[in-house]
Amino acid sequence: MQIGMVGLGKMGGNMAERLRRGGHEVVGYDRNPEVSDVPSLKDLVDSLAAPRTVWVMVPAGPPTHATIEQLGELLSEGDLVIDGGNSHYVDDQKHGAQLAEKGIGFVDVGVSGGVWGLENGYALMAGGSEGDIRRLWPVFETLKPEGDGFVHAGDVGAGHFAKMVHNGIEYGMMQAFAEGWELLEAADVVKDVPGTFASWRHGTVIRSWLLDLFVRALNEDPDLSDLQGYAQDSGEGRWTVQAAVEHAVPLPVITSALYARFASRQPDSPAMKVVAALRNQFGGHAVASKEGAHAKGADSPGADVAPPREVS
């Protein structure tokens, strides 16, 4: 099958290579001329035979909006666009409606597999019509792992909604491993923390590819001293929590994991400054100042403020 691939970064480039290995003809376009097969998006469209199929793998948000808008002007009725980035499912519904007005099909695909997908295959979660999914099946079959790994999740938007929830679960799993590692490191009783995690890879209910990757990281850096405790979020964790609020579904684990990432970016927590100040005011507890730890005595400012009377 012939397909155009827009965006040849770590994911898009590897996906294009896996498709080529599977016998498909791929024409790739990227803003980086060193990896691009054609000089422009128009040249990519012109190089494809109708009905055309174009897979978009660019960052979510404005880059994806701009690319799909351009494709809407360049493509023709009967052509098909796939968004395989990490777009918000709400944007998919807008893009699908926008392209449908011109007779252009749209499918959203949540893609998981990262840098390992080239060799192992990509888990694919697709949203779109039955006809468009059938048309794309040769591509999906090549990209996915052997056996399972593909779902037609529903109509347009369903693929990225499923991927959003997948990533939210991933946040919670990573946070659980992180907290367990910190506790093992803090306790003197366990002498071999990397070995403990490695022992869990077989025969336990928490064995997983994520655990395998963590053991790999510990083999490279046993105490993680080469890393800074700072974690970004891709946006999908936030969207998962927002969707939970909209649907009144409690997500305490995923929400806590997202907030833990926010906390990791604060070298000095503003909220904890308030907590420290209040503990000092009502209990005279020691606080750590810029100059060092100290405790304010009974004559400290605020110490003579009487507690409020209870009002019934």
pLDDT digits (tens, 9 = 90+) for 202-211: 999 999 999 9
Catalytic residue check, 141: no
- The yes-or-no verdict on residue 309 having pLDDT over 70 is no
Q: Residue 11 pLDDT > 60, yes or no?
A: yes
pTM of the model as a whole: 0.86
Supply the pLDDT for residue 273. Answer: 81
Which residue type, as a one-letter code, is found at position 4? G
**Average of per-residue pLDDT values in the chain:** 91
Q: Is the pLDDT of residue 300 over 50?
A: no
Contact predicate 126/108, CB 8 Å: yes
- Among residues 101, 295, 66, which one has the least CA distance to residue 56? 66
Q: Report pLDDT digits (tens) over 112-167.
A: 998 889 999 999 999 999 999 999 999 999 999 999 999 999 999 999 999 999 99
Q: Select which of 73, 146, 163, 246 is catalytic.
A: 163
Mean pLDDT of all residues in 48-65: 97
Q: Is the pLDDT of residue 299 over 70?
A: no
51: preceding bond cis by omega (within 30 degrees): yes
Catalytic-labelled residue, pool 17, 170, 185, 246: 170
Confidence bin at 304 (pLDDT 50/70/90): very low
Q: In the chain, list all ranges with CATH 3.40.50.720.
A: 2-156
Parts of the chain belonging to CATH 1.10.1040.10: 163-264
Tell me whether residue 47 is exposed, middle or buried, using C-beta atoms within 10 angstroms of its C-beta: 0 to 12, 13 to 18, 19 or more: middle
Q: Annotated catalytic, 182?
A: no
Amino acid type, 87 = S
Which pLDDT does position 122 carry in this prediction? 97
Give the whole-angstrom CA distance, residue 160 versus residue 235.
12
pLDDT tier at 248, thresholds 50, 70, 90: very high
Q: Which fold has domain 2-156?
A: Rossmann fold (3.40.50)
Residue with tokens 């700072």: 230
Instruction: For 182-199, write each residue's pLDDT tens digit.
Output: 999 999 999 999 999 999
Question: Which residue in the block uniquely carries the two structure tokens 């979660």?
Answer: 125
Which tokens belong to 62?
């404005």
Q: Which residues pair with 109 in a beta bridge?
A: 126
Taking Cα atoms as reference points, which of 114, 17, 67 lies closest to residue 8?
A: 17
Please write the tens of the pLDDT for every residue from 251-297.
Answer: 999 999 999 999 888 888 888 888 888 788 887 878 777 665 454 54
pLDDT of amino acid 292: 55
Say whether domain 163-264 belongs to CATH 3.10.180.10: no
